Amino acid sequence: MSYIIASDLNQALQILRDSKGQARVIAGATDLFLQTLPAELVDLAGLYETTQLEETGGLLSIGSAVTHASAARSLLIRSQAAALAEACAMIGSPQVRNIGTIGGNVANAAPAADAAVALVALGAKAVITDIAGQTRVEAVEELYAGYNRSTIDSSSEIIGRLLFKSCAAGEGSAFMRFAPRRALALPLVNAAARVRVSGRRIEAVRLVAAPVKPAPTRLFETEALLQEVIPGPEIWPKVEEAAAAEVEVRGSMLRCSEQYRRHLVGTLAGRVLKEAYQRACAAEGGET
Amino acid sequence: MWGKKQEQNRSERNISGCGSYQSPEVWAKVTGKAVYGIDLEFPGMLYGKILRSPHPHARIKGIDLSAARAIPGVRAVLSAQDVHCNPYGIVVDDEMPLAVDRVRYIGDEVAVVAAVDQKTAERAMAAIKVEYEPLPAVFNPVGALDEQAPQLHEDFPGNVAWERDLIRGDPDTAFREADLVVEDSFSMPSVHPAYLEPIACVAVSEYGNGVTLHTALQSPDLVRDIISRALNLSSSLVRVIGPVMGGGFGGRVFGNLKLYILSSLLSMHTGFPVKMQLTREEEFTVGRPMIAAEINLKMALRRDGTILARESEIITDNGAYSAQAPWVSKTFSERNDSVYRIPNIKTRARLAYTNKVPTAQYRAYGNQSANFACESLMDQAAKRLNMDPLELRLKNCTQAGDTTVHGLEIKSCALTKCLQRAASEIGWDQRKSGRGYGISSGIHANGSLVANKNFRGASARVTLELDGRVNVFTGEQDYGQGAHAAFACIAGRVLGLEPDQITVYSRDSLVTPFSQGALAMRQTTIGGRAVQVAAQELQKAIIQKASEISGEPVSLENGLLKNASGRLIELTEVATGYHHQTSGLNLVGEGKYVPPASDYDETSYGNISVAYSFAAHAAEVEIDKKTGAITVHRIVAVHDSGHIVNLLTSRGQVYGGVTQGLGMGCYEGYLFEGGRVANSSLADYRIPTALDVPAIDQVFIETEDPEGPFGSKGLGEIVMVPVLGAIGNAVADAAGVPVTALPLTAEKVYQAMSGGECSK
Amino acid sequence: MKKQTINFELNGELVEVHTEPSGSLLHLLRGQLGLLGTKEGCGEGECGACTVLLDSQPVNACLIPAAKIEGKQVQTIESLSNGDTIHPLQESFVEKGAVQCGFCTPGMVMSAYALLKVNQDPTPVEVKEAISGNLCRCSGYKQIEEAVLDAAEKIDQGSRED
C-alpha cells in the first residue's frame, strides 16, 4: 500500500488516473481502519482548494476537506448556515471533529450523518470532478446509492466543494439531534430545516430528517403544511404528527424501536422547524 | 458544590492530618511515565492470541492445528489436548483453560497461539481448523431453568449454578396481617466495569522455577492460588507482580483468569515471555461483566409506614461459567434488607447458566442494582400510604446498636443524619415543580467474609530503613483510589512521620503479605488497621532498641526519639545500630488485624463484616415530556464512612462512584442478539462523558467506628449504591410512573409515561 | 506491506521514520518510537486515551494513518515535562486529585493543554466540552475540571508576573 498526500486537486486526479482504479481518495480518514485498504490512498485533507470557505454573490462554497471543527467555528457558517454549524459541532468528539471533514461526511454515505443532514436542508450541491476532467454538480441527497454506499466512486471522482445559497434576510436554518449521550454518540434521529419568511409568512421551507432512508430525507408533505402559512401555536402539533406519519423508519436493538424513532422524527421536525422559523423571522429586514 | 469554607472545616477535622496527600506514583501517571499492563515489554517476548468459539453452544468434533503450527514465526499452538490442567473457578470449578469437547458461549476459548508478533499470531489463528456440531442454546435465564432447556454443565443439573431459599422471621404471617402490600418487578441488564485499560498480562516462565505473571490485579494473591491450582504448580512457584492498573472497579479482583492461565501455559511451552491482551471488544464479549437480574419484590407495611416484611423472587443470569456470580447473586439478594428494620424476610434466588458471556462483579457487588428495585418499592409504598418518601425512610432506617435481620451488628450508623442532610441539601422541602426528586439509602459491608470466613483480616509489615525512612509492605492494592496514601498517613500518624517519608509497596506476591486484596471495601478499614498495628509494633521495637543504645528509657513523640535525659536520638542512629548489631537486619514491625469474632451460620445469618458504611443520595432530574429524555441536574451524596482519612481522594471516590451509578442508571447495559453481545464497543456501550455528569454535592457525616483505623470505614463501593435508587425515584417522580428496567433510557421513560408496555 | 519514509516534527524535534503508511499514528508512537505515554483504550476513536496534538489540534492517534503526519507537528504527553519541570496543568491535576488510575490522564492532559493554548480563560462548560472526547471511568470528571480551571488561573498569573 502506498499513501500519497496530494499537493493539489489536479495532482490527486492524475494519481487516480494513473492507478487505474487501484487508488482511492480520502480526507479525514477517521473511518479508514474500519475498511479494507486499497492499494493506494490519496489524501486530500490539506489541499488549498478543498479547505476554503467563502461566500461570493450569496453563494456559500465549502471545501470538501473543511473539518467539522472549522465549520463549527466559522463565523460565516454560523451566521449564514446555522444548521451546518450546529450539526458539525455535535459530531463525535472534539478529536474527531478536528480531522473529520464535511466532504467525508457526505461521501461516507452514513444514513444519519449530521453534516449531510444539514447540507440537504440547506439545499447544498456537491461539485464533483472525475478523472476525465468532467465536473458534475449534484444535490447532496442524490449521492446515496444505498445504506453507507455513495454514488461517488472514490477511485475516480473527487468532491471538490459544496455549494448552497447562504441564508439571506428573512431566512433561517437549524439543526437538532436526539442522542443517548451528550458527546461521542450517534443520533437516534437528527433533523434540519431551512425556512424563508416574508412578513412572518413562510415562503419556502426545506425539512430533512434521518435516518429514514439511505439518504437524508426531505419531508415534503410536512413542508407543504407550512407553505404560505403564518404559523401559530396550533400548527406545531400538526407538523409533528405529519412528520411522524410521513416517514418509514426502522428500529434497531442498539438505538431504539421503530415506533419511538417515528415519534422522535415528529418531535424533532416540529422543534427544528420552529427554531428555523424563529431565526428567519429574527433575520427579516436585512439582518443576517 | 463544596463551599470553600466548608471544605476547610472538614480538612481541619481531618484526623490523620494529611488531608490531600497522594502517593508519588501520581507523578508518573500525570507525566505519562507510569507503566501499565499494555505497556509491558520483555526481551524475546512472544504474543499470544486466542481462537474463540463462533457458536453459543456446540460440540467440538475436531481441531486441526497443523497448518497453524507450520507458519514461520509461530512458536506454539495449543488446544485442550495439549495441556494438562485442572478445572478451576472462583466459587465453583466449572471452567477449563481451553474448551475440552464443548463450547458454551460465543467467545469460549478453543485454541491458543504464541508467535513472534501480533500479525503472525493472527495468521496462525486463521489457519486453525475447528469442526463444530452446533447444539441448541439457551439465552434467557428463565428459559434456562425450564426442564426442557439445553443443559450446560453435567455437574449442574437444571442449569442451576446456585440457589437460595431463605426465610427469616415469619414473613407469611406478616404479609397476612399487613395493611398494605406493594409489589413490582424489576430488571437489570449485565453491566461492565469498563475500566479504561483493557486487561493485559505477560507470563514469564523459568525452567524449574514456575511462572511469574505480570499483570495488575486487585487481588493478586487470590489469583495466584487459582492459577497454581489450575496449572498444577506449587503456589509459591507462581508469582504475581503488578504494573500500574488502569482501573478496576471489581473487574480486576480476579481479572481475566483465562488470559493469565493461557499466557502461562504458552510461556511454559515456549520458554519465552508471552504477552496477551484483550481488545476492547473482547473486554465486552469475553470479559466478566456483572450478572443481569430479574426481581419480583413484595413488601408488607403497616398503615403508619412500619415495614413488616419483604419477599423477593430473584433470577440472575450466570452466563456460561460462574466466576463470582454466586456471591454477587447473594449480595444482590440480601444486602438491601439491612438498610431498614425489616423483621421478616423471604427470598428465593436462583442463578441460571445460559449460553452467554460468563459473569462476575462490579463495584458494590450487586448491592447497587438491587438498591434500584428496593428503593423504588419504598417510594411506591410511600405513595400508597400517602406518606413523604423521606419520612417513610426515616421511620424505618437502621440505627447504631441494631442487629439487622441477617445478623449484621451495626456499631456505628448515621443513616438518619445522612437522609436528613441529603434531603436538606437537595431542597426536599422546596421541591421545584417540573422537576423530579428521589432519595435513597444504602448500606455496604466493609470486608465481608463471603470469600473465606476463616480469613477475615489483614496483615502488614513496616520496616525502618537505614536512612530513617519507613517502608510499608502490604498486600492491599492501590490503583488510584488512594489506599497507599491512606496507609502512609496511618503509619505516619503512629510514628510521627510525614507521609512522604513512608513508601508503601504492594505489588509482588513474593514479597508482600498475603491479602484478600482490593475488594469488599476492606482496604482502608481492615488493611489500614493492620498497617496501624504493624506501625505500632515498629514503634515499640524502635523504642526498645533506642533504650538499649542509650541505656535509659526513651520516648517517641512526633517522630522525635528522646531519652530520659532529654537527648534526641536520630532514627538513623537506631536503625544503623540495629543493622550493625545483627549484620544486616532492619527493625521490623509486623502487625495483623483480625476483626472481632464475626461469623455466620449455614443460612448466612451472622455479623459478616467488621463495620458497615451507610449513605443517602438524593437526585433532582427533569424529563422532556415529549421525548422522555432525562436530564439529571444534581445528585447529593451524603456518606457515613466514619472518619475520612484523606479528603481529596475520598471526594474522588464519591464523584467517580456517583458517576458510575449514573451510567448504570441511565446509559449502560449489555444488549444481546441471540448469544452475541450487540454493543461490544465504547461507542455502543455508553459510559458517561464529561458533558453527561450533573452537579454532584457531597457531605461526609463522620461517625466514630470502634473498629476501623482512627474510626474510619470503607467508602469505595458504597458510593455507587444509593445513587441508583435516587435516580430511579427521581425519574419516577418526574414521569409520574416508575420505570422498572435499567437503564432508564429516554425511550423507556417515554413508553412508561404513555402507558406503553415497553417500560419493562 | 511496503514501508514509506515519513518526516515529521515530534515534540519539537524533526524525526524520520520508515514505517507502514497505513499503520496508525498510535502504533507508530507506542511501537517504533517507544513513546508509551499515549495510551490505547479502544483503538476506535471512542475513548480519547490516545489523544495527541496534530498541528496543535487534539486528535485520536488511533485514527490517524501514520503517513498523514508527513510534514506536520505531533505533540505527545512526553513533551510537557522533563526530569525537573512539569507543566502547570500536570501540577494542578495532581493537586486537585484529578488522577486516579491515571490511564486517561495523558490524553486528558493533552486535550486540556490544547484548550488552554487557544483559550486562556475557559468557562467550566468550555472545559467540559474540551474533554468530552476523553472518557474517564474513575473520576466523574469533576476534579479534572477543577484542575484545568486551576491551571488556567496559574498560567494566567504566571504570565502576568513575567
In this prediction, residue C160 carries a pLDDT of 74
Among C77, C109, C135, beta carbon nearest to B196: C135
Q: For B698, name the nearest residue in chain C, comparing CA atoms only.
A: C142
Same domain, C155 and C118: yes
All domains of chain B in start order, with CATH = 38-135+198-245+252-286 (3.90.1170.50), 292-451+600-753 (3.30.365.10), 458-593 (3.30.365.10)
Among A3, A45, A99, beta carbon nearest to C4: A3
The verdict on residue C134 lying in a domain is yes
Write out the three cell numbers for C162: 513575567
Same domain, C149 and C124: yes
Whether A9 and chain C come into contact, CB under 8 Å, resolves to no
Whether B30 and chain A come into contact, CB under 8 Å, resolves to no
- The CA distance from C17 to the nearest CA of chain B, in Å, is 20
Contact B678 A257 (CB under 8 A): no
Same domain, C61 and C94: no
Residue at grid coordinates 463522620: B702
Q: Which phi and psi (to 5°) does residue B522 adopt?
A: -105, -5
User: Which residues in chain A are closer than 8 Å to C2, comparing Cβ atoms?
Assistant: 1-2
User: Which residues in chain C are closer than 8 Å to A43, comparing Cβ atoms?
Assistant: 67-68
Same domain, C57 and C101: no
Q: Between A and C, how many CB-CB pairs are < 8 A?
A: 85
State the chains in contact with A (3 or more Cβ–Cβ pairs under 8 Å): B, C
Same domain, C74 and C92: no
Q: Is the omega angle on the peptide bond into residue A94 within 30 degrees of 0, that is, cis?
A: no
Same domain, C66 and C94: no
Would you put residue A278 in left (φ > 0), alpha (ψ -120 to 50) or beta? alpha
In this prediction, residue B557 carries a pLDDT of 81
Q: Which of A95, A99, A108 to mutate to test the interface with C (most CBs of C within 10 A)?
A: A95
Same domain, C118 and C149: yes
User: Which residues in chain A are closer than 8 Å to B758, comparing Cβ atoms?
Assistant: 257
Neighbours of B320 (CB within 10 A): 26
Contact C143 B479 (CB under 8 A): no
Q: For A34, name the nearest residue in chain C, comparing CA atoms only.
A: C44
B243, B50 Cβ separation under 8 angstroms: no
Write the CB contacts of A232 (distance below 8 Å, at least 6 apart in sequence).
none
Contact C97 B20 (CB under 8 A): yes
Domain tally for chain C?
Answer: 2
B708, A142 Cβ separation under 8 angstroms: no
In this prediction, residue B16 carries a pLDDT of 45
- The CA distance from C29 to the nearest CA of chain A, in Å, is 17
Give dist(CA B750, CA B745) in Å, integer: 9
The verdict on residue C22 lying in a domain is yes
User: Which residues in chain C are closer than 8 Å to A45, comparing Cβ atoms?
Assistant: 68
User: Which B residues 176-235 touch A at CB under 8 Å?
Assistant: none
Whether A255 and chain B come into contact, CB under 8 Å, resolves to no
CA torsion sign for C52, C56, C59, C62 is: negative
Q: For B662, name the nearest residue in chain C, comparing CA atoms only.
A: C140
In this prediction, residue B596 carries a pLDDT of 78
Domain boundary among C78, C103, C123: C78
Q: Which phi and psi (to 5°) does residue B645 adopt?
A: -75, -40
Distances (CA, A) of A53 to A92, A121, B60, B232: 22, 19, 60, 68
- The CA distance from C83 to the nearest CA of chain A, in Å, is 29
Any idea how long chain B is?
760
Q: For B743, name the nearest residue in chain A, comparing CA atoms only.
A: A180
CATH number at residue C8: 3.10.20.30
Longest CA pairwise span in chain B (Å): 87
In this prediction, residue B461 carries a pLDDT of 97
A219, A268 Cβ separation under 8 angstroms: no
- The CA distance from C55 to the nearest CA of chain B, in Å, is 20
The verdict on residue C121 lying in a domain is yes
User: Which residues in chain A are closer than 8 Å to C132, comparing Cβ atoms?
Assistant: 93-94, 182-184
Same domain, C114 and C71: no
Grade residue A28 by pLDDT with cuts at 50, 70 and 90: confident
Q: Is the omega angle on the peptide bond into residue A211 within 30 degrees of 0, that is, cis?
A: yes
Compute the average pLDDT of residues A195-212. Answer: 97
Tell me which residue of B242, B247, B482, B250 sits closest to C103, measured CA to CA: B247
State the chains in contact with B (3 or more Cβ–Cβ pairs under 8 Å): A, C
Contact A185 B684 (CB under 8 A): no
Question: DSSP for B509-520?
Answer: TTTSPP---S-T
Contact B627 A257 (CB under 8 A): no
In this prediction, residue B2 carries a pLDDT of 27
Stretches in chain C below the pLDDT threshold 50: none
Same domain, C72 and C92: no
All domains of chain A in start order, with CATH = 48-165 (3.30.465.10), 171-282 (3.30.390.50)
In this prediction, residue B9 carries a pLDDT of 33
Domain boundary among C45, C78, C111: C78
CATH number at residue C141: 1.10.150.120
Same domain, C112 and C141: yes
Residue C64: Cβ-neighbour burial (10 angstroms; 0-12, 13-18, 19+): buried
Q: Which of C1, C28, C55, C132 to mutate to test the interface with A (most CBs of A within 10 A)?
A: C132
In this prediction, residue B1 carries a pLDDT of 25
Domain boundary among C43, C59, C78: C78
Q: For each successive 10 residues of chain B (760 residues), what is the average pLDDT?
A: 31 49 93 98 97 98 98 98 95 95 98 97 98 98 96 96 97 98 98 98 93 96 95 94 96 96 98 98 97 98 98 98 94 97 98 97 95 98 98 98 96 97 98 97 84 82 96 91 89 92 94 83 83 95 91 85 87 93 95 82 89 97 97 98 89 97 98 96 97 98 84 92 98 97 98 70
For residue A177, what are the β-bridge partners? A190
User: Which residues in chain A are closer than 8 Å to B671, comparing Cβ atoms?
Assistant: 253-254
User: Which residues in chain C are closer than 8 Å to B252, comparing Cβ atoms?
Assistant: none
Please, where are the H alpha helices in chain C? 25-27, 88-95, 105-118, 124-130, 142-161
Contact C22 A37 (CB under 8 A): yes
Q: For B693, name the nearest residue in chain A, comparing CA atoms only.
A: A182
Same domain, C60 and C107: no
Residue C125 domain boundaries: 88-161
Contact C129 A1 (CB under 8 A): no
Q: In what order do the strands lie in the sheet with A157-165?
A: A53-56, A59-63, A157-165, A125-130, A135-139
Q: In what order do the strands lie in the sheet with B129-134?
A: B102-103, B58-64, B129-134
pLDDT > 80? residue A22: yes
Q: What is the ipTM of this complex?
A: 0.98
The verdict on residue C83 lying in a domain is no
User: Which residues in chain A are closer than 8 Å to B689, comparing Cβ atoms?
Assistant: 181-184
Q: In what order do the strands lie in the sheet with C73-75?
A: C13-19, C4-10, C73-75, C51-54, C57-60
Residue at grid coordinates 418487578: B185
User: Which residues in chain B are closer than 8 Å to A251, comparing Cβ atoms?
Assistant: none
Q: For A32, name the nearest residue in chain C, comparing CA atoms only.
A: C63
Same domain, C40 and C98: no
The verdict on residue C149 lying in a domain is yes
Residue at grid coordinates 524475546: B44
